[in-house]
Amino acid sequence: MAEARNGKRVGRNEVLLLALGFGALAVVGGSSVWIAQRNASFNRQIADTLEFRSDVRRILDIAQDAETGQRGYLLTRRESYLSPYEAATPMRDARASSLRARAATESQRENAEQLIKALDTKLAELARTVELSRAGRWDEALEVVRSDSGREAMVTLRTLTDKMVGVETQRFQENFAYSEWLGRLQLVVVTIGLLLAAALALVAQILVRRQARTIREAHAELADANAGLEQAVADRTAELVSANEEIQRFAYIVSHDLRAPLVNVMGFTSELDAARKTLKEQIDQVAEKAPELVSGDAKLAVDEDLPEAIGFIRTSTAKMDRLINAILRLSREGRRVITPEMVKVDEVVVAIARTLHQQTEATGARISAEPGLPPLVTDRMSFEQVFQNLIENAVKYLDRSRPGVITVRGRRVGPQVEYAIEDNGRGIDAKDHERVFELFRRAGAQDQPGEGLGLAFVRASVRRLGGTIRLDSEPGRGSTFIVTFPAVYRPQQTEAS
């Protein structure tokens, strides 16, 4: 008991250790996933920061390119110098929308609106000068330039650009530093996870080896125990087989030895009956010639007492003869070699029904077999005797108050086949369900001939074929005998049982 408790405690500790190891590994795995997700999030923020800085600079580039084109046109008065101006102006809306969409904070969104407003102011100033110049009003265009509104707008643009780029640069550096820290943390977590996995694998291997050793030892102990048990079972089986054979030999010898004196009794009874007849003739002659010489007791003894006694002797010897024959039958059946062969059960039932046709026709009974009765491999003679006895019993004990119906059903149940012989006869009380299988025991009204050996013979034959038999019955409803056999009879099955 102490070893068992220690074994259970060690087993619980091993399971707990493995559970803790797997739990730690799960935590490491979850941490790695979280770190990877956070890292990916910061990488997206860094990418957004870089794109936002690029959008800010592109706003300034639009203003600078447009101003370059305007200055060249005012100085040279050539339309070709307006190319940078004309290329930059249409990009205003796209750059402004992108800038607004990428602004991540409220302050940056406010700065973005101021930057776009400054760009619009600068573009309006440039558009005014270009419009005046194209109208030939060069002096007025120069006055617009000299008003410094365009210069102030450019100063605002550069100031806001530097401010916004500075904020994003700082944000970029913070995110980048945090991303680097997360990367290092992920490396540490992964390293810890690998070490834990290696340690867990090592512990698992040690536990598996220890368990395997324990299992091998248990198997060895079990094999030793099984060897002893198998030997004990084999010895016990041999003893039972020997005892059974001895009982069969004893039954054969006893029944054979009983038959000799029984034959003598039957012979002497016949001689006694012949002597009685001779004596009766003599007494009748004396009574006819000298009646006074014959007493009434002598005449009564010859006419009634002796015939009655001889009748009793003959009835008893006949019954004893049937019992001896039944015992001999059981003895011979137990010593007969079983020969397995394929048996088609539906054909067996049809053949039995034909042999009982006279009895069933006289009582209005009907014997039928349901379609699809499964065949089996067994000893044909023993099997037919079992079914013959069961169906004959069903016919013998039918309820005369209703038409008799005897039905044979069957089905395959795994490696076995099960047959049911069902009738609507008298039925058997529950207290007699086991009794009817005993030698010389009968149940119910004894209005039919028999010595109570049929069902005992049936159960012995069924068991010898490796099967079982049981009874389901109640008075007034009928009886069902359920017989189960191996689908394929093998000698070792019976030996093992």
Q: Which amino acid is at 339?
A: T
324: closest CA among 252, 382, 272, 395? 252
Residues 317 and 343 in one domain: no
Name, in order, each residue with C-beta under 8 angstroms of 307's C-beta and a sequence gap of 6 or more: 276
pLDDT of 351: 92
Residues 249 and 188 in one domain: no
Q: Which of 289, 315, 334 is the last residue of a domain?
A: 334
Residues 289 and 407 in one domain: no
Point out which residues pair with 420 in neighbouring strands. Answer: 409, 482
Angstrom distance (rounded) from CA 31 to CA 450: 87
232 in any annotated domain: no
Our count of domains for the chain comes to 3
481: closest CA among 18, 230, 461? 461
Residues 160 and 28 in one domain: yes
226 in any annotated domain: no
Residues 26 and 146 in one domain: yes
User: Which tokens is 40 given?
Assistant: 């990916």
Q: Which of 334, 359, 392 is the last residue of a domain?
A: 334
Name, in order, each residue with C-beta under 8 angstroms of 251's C-beta and a sequence gap of 6 or more: 327, 328, 330, 331
Residues 297 and 444 in one domain: no
Angstrom distance (rounded) from CA 215 to CA 220: 8
Cα atoms found within 13 Å of the Cα of residue 296, Cβ hemisphere only = 0
Three-class secondary structure of residue 167 per DSSP: helix
Residue with tokens 């015992």: 327
Point out which residues pair with 407 in neighbouring strands. Answer: 368, 422
Angstrom distance (rounded) from CA 348 to CA 352: 6
Angle between helices 454-464 and 306-335 (to 10 degrees): 10
Three-class secondary structure of residue 441 per DSSP: coil
224 in any annotated domain: no
Cα 376 to chain centroid distance, Å, stands at: 28
Pairing of strands 478-486, 416-423: antiparallel
What CATH number did the domain enclosing 158 receive? 1.20.120.1730
Residues 164 and 271 in one domain: no
Angle between helices 2-76 and 92-102 (to 10 degrees): 150
228 in any annotated domain: no
What CATH number did the domain enclosing 384 receive? 3.30.565.10
pLDDT of 56: 80
Residues 353 and 329 in one domain: no
382 close to 338: Cβ distance less than 8 angstroms: yes
pLDDT of 350: 92
190 close to 35: Cβ distance less than 8 angstroms: no
pLDDT of 496: 43
Residue ranges making up the domain that contains 319 = 242-334
For 469, phi then psi, to 5°, come to -140, 140
Residues 111 and 34 in one domain: yes
The ranges of the chain with pLDDT < 70 are 1-18, 20-22, 24-25, 28, 31-32, 36, 38-39, 41-42, 230, 232-260, 262-264, 266, 268, 287, 293-294, 296-299, 302, 312, 315-316, 318-336, 433, 439-454, 492-497
pLDDT of 373: 93
326 in any annotated domain: yes
Burial code (b: 16+ CB inside 10 Å, e: under 16) for 310-347 equals eeebeeeeeebeebbebbbebbebbeeeeebeebebbe
348 in any annotated domain: yes
Three-class secondary structure of residue 341 per DSSP: strand
272 in any annotated domain: yes
Residues 88 and 57 in one domain: yes
Residues 260 and 348 in one domain: no
Residues 413 and 446 in one domain: yes
Burial, 431: exposed, middle or buried (Cβ in 10 Å; 0-12, 13-18, 19+)?
A: exposed
Rg (CA), the chain: 58
Q: Which amino acid is at 298?
A: A
Cα atoms found within 13 Å of the Cα of residue 239, Cβ hemisphere only = 6
Q: Which of 286, 312, 334 is the last residue of a domain?
A: 334
Q: What is the pTM of this model?
A: 0.42
Q: Which amino acid is at 436?
A: V
Three-class secondary structure of residue 407 per DSSP: strand
Angstrom distance (rounded) from CA 224 to CA 346: 48
63 close to 157: Cβ distance less than 8 angstroms: yes
Cα 396 to chain centroid distance, Å, stands at: 46
Burial, 112: exposed, middle or buried (Cβ in 10 Å; 0-12, 13-18, 19+)?
A: buried
Q: Give the CA-trace dihedral at 142, 147, 148, 150, to 10 degrees.
A: -60
pLDDT of 477: 87
60 in any annotated domain: yes
